[in-house]
Amino acid sequence: QVQLVESGGGLVQAGGSLRLSCAASGNIFSRYTMAWHRQAPGNQRDLVATITSSGSTNYGDSVKGRFTISRDNAKNAVYLQMNSLKPEDTAVYYCNMKMALLNYWGQGTQVTVSS
């Protein structure tokens, strides 16, 4: 069983920055792709960014050039640096570990961007 715990959310003004963190339990973190997703009220959960075990990254079109995903395998942690935040980035952000047959999710952290 893997536990993922997000932190770093909060309220920020448009144009500001936040850094989200996700800590994973266990000793298998380094083997798997990690991702950040987000879900705004009334919307589906959307993919924000992914990072493979080797460090290759991919981003949703709406965050390219503004967000950066990274990982520290020694700390069992994945991060999401969010710059130039916009009100439309307001959502609950979820950390996700992608395995072949399973997906683990954190409880989410709220990010609110005021205009």
- Render pLDDT for 34-84 as a digit per residue (tens, 0 to 9): 999 999 999 999 999 999 999 999 999 999 999 999 999 999 999 999 999
For residue 99, give both structure tokens: 């395995």
CA distance linking residue 95 with residue 109, whole number of Å: 9
Report pLDDT for 13.
98
Q: C-alpha angle 74/63/57, rounded to 5°?
A: 35
